[in-house]
Amino acid sequence: MKDQTLLDYYARRAAEYEQIYQKPERQIKLALLKAYLIKLLAGRDVLEVACGTGYWTAHLAPFTRSMLATDASAEVLDVAQAKAYPPNRVRFEQADAYALDTVTGDFNGGFAGFWWSHIQKSRQADFLKSFHGRLQSGATAVLIDNQYVEGSSTPISGTDEDGNTYQDRRLADGSRHRVLKNFPTEAELRGVVGEAGADVRFVDFTYYWCLSYRLA
């Protein structure tokens, strides 16, 4: 799935995106993940990449010192900016996740929620270079995304020559989309971060994973 195709998909999905967080079987693990993220990022100046509709921005903002929430899609940023946040705590900028040198601010925390699965394997290192390049030395970086769980996750419908996996999704407007959705292992994540991260921690929340580390 090309980047523009992914942008178009999420622009059309913006109004219904947060329904994914309402799956009954995931609520206990989702609550645990939310609490864990607060512990990791509380009191920090956080750069959020691919904030989408601001679901995680709204959750984290009350506990951070400041947040800059970024996304490449103007449509999802419109939804995110309409939410309520603590006064003078959150800014929004439209930005390409692979070219974060355009954003403004100093950050000792970085967060990307449910973005890693949409990165082609060949571009993972490019994203991390962009992401790490905007964080201070010693900053806490946090990535979260989905684990594949049979019966709860949308089935994998295809795999390309580079090992990227895809799902076929249908939106409320009836349109169908082939979406890049990778499900990395802990070893793969640790391998990509490599020596850039110290104190690397991987936590399995059944339906979700969280990788956190200190930028070396």
Rounded to an integer, what distance in angstroms lies between the CA atom of residue 107 and that of residue 65?
10
Reference 64, options 30, 97, 109; nearest CA is 109
Closest of 96, 68, 80 to residue 14, by C-alpha = 80
Q: What is the CATH topology of the domain spanning 3-215?
A: Rossmann fold (3.40.50)
pLDDT cut 70: percent of the chain above it: 92
Quote the tokens at residue 98.
Answer: 């692979």
pLDDT for position 124: 98
**Mean pLDDT of the region 148-165:** 96
> Where are the domains positioned within the chain?
3-215
- pLDDT higher than 70, residue 207: yes
Q: How far apart are CA 23 and CA 78, in angstroms?
A: 25
The yes-or-no verdict on residue 17 having pLDDT over 70 is no
| pLDDT recorded at residue 174 | 80
Q: Are strands 176-180 and 109-113 parallel, antiparallel or unpaired?
A: unpaired
**Confidence check: pLDDT of 141 > 90:** yes
Question: How many Å apart are CA 69 and CA 66, to the nearest integer?
Answer: 10
Q: Distances from the Cα of 121 to the Cαs of 20, 54, 117, 125, in angstroms?
A: 24, 25, 9, 8
Segment 159-200, tens digit of pLDDT:
999 999 999 988 778 888 889 999 999 999 999 999 999 999
Q: For residue range 93-109, list pLDDT tens digits in order.
A: 999 999 999 999 999 99
pLDDT band at residue 5 using 50, 70 and 90 as cut-offs:
low
The pLDDT value recorded for residue 19 is: 82
Closest among 211, 112, 117 to 164, alpha carbons compared? 117
**pLDDT value, residue 13:** 57
Give the C-alpha separation, 162 to 203, whole Å. 26
| 10: its two tokens | 């999420």
